[in-house]
Amino acid sequence: MSETMSEAPRYKRVILKLSGESFSRGGERGISMEEVVHIARQVHKAAELGCQIAVVIGGGNILRGAQFKDASACIHEATAHYMGMLATVINGLALQDALESIGCETRLMSAIQMDGVAEPYLRRRAHRHLEKGRIIILAAGTGGPFVTTDTAAALRALELEAEIVMKATRVDGVYSEDPEKNPHAVLYRELDFSTVLEKNLRVMDSTAITHCMEHAVPILVFNYQKDGNIQRAVRGEKVGTLIAPTSKA
């Protein structure tokens, strides 16, 4: 199918960061395949535009390492982090099957080796999959504890030479305050990295922000629940909040 200028992707290669919570209904835990298929359909349409997509996923819908911080849990913090990484692989398997059920070619790659479940993450192999038009799903974070999946997304963006990190959320972008608590909170359309760090805006963790800032990789925070927003983001349309080295605001 021929592309018009409006349909052509602005970004050739992106990292799409999905939280574990995006795999479940609001306020619930576990995996809702209805939610997963909704995401898969949007990712598929974005890939059809010609964009190469690598998805980094969280596992908070299944398990969060922080829930074991209580000393009575008798689980070492590093162990809890590994448990969280394994949860991301479970989400990755669900997303992979959802994507393949609608005709996508995918590869699930894990930073923790687990033959028979996922390919090991190798940078050159991931590059090759993207060049062949496959959607790759990157699970198990970086493979090490004490690193968030936000930071994993930033690092994979640098490794795979992605043009942007797109963080899909349930809100329309970055606000001055929590919009659920303050109805007058301001939605920022553009921000620079320094402002995000200075104001301690809850976008991604500070390590992820710093990596992107030092390598001039922009971050887009947007609402994936609105149909078509992933495609709009890939086309470079104004959705959500764009965080870049310089701000026009």
Q: Which domains are assigned to the chain? A: 13-244 (3.40.1160.10)
Distances in Å between the Cα of 211 and the Cα atoms of 143, 151, 156, 245, 247 are 18, 8, 11, 12, 18
Q: Cβ distance 190 to 249 under 8 Å?
A: yes
Q: What is the pLDDT along the chain (249 residues), one digit of tens a residue?
A: 334 445 789 999 999 999 999 999 888 899 999 999 999 999 999 999 999 999 999 999 998 766 676 655 688 889 999 999 999 999 999 999 999 999 999 999 999 999 999 999 999 999 999 999 999 999 999 999 999 999 999 999 999 999 999 999 988 999 988 887 888 889 999 999 999 998 888 889 999 999 999 999 999 999 999 999 999 999 999 999 999 987 544
pTM confidence score = 0.91
Strand partners, 110: 120, 139
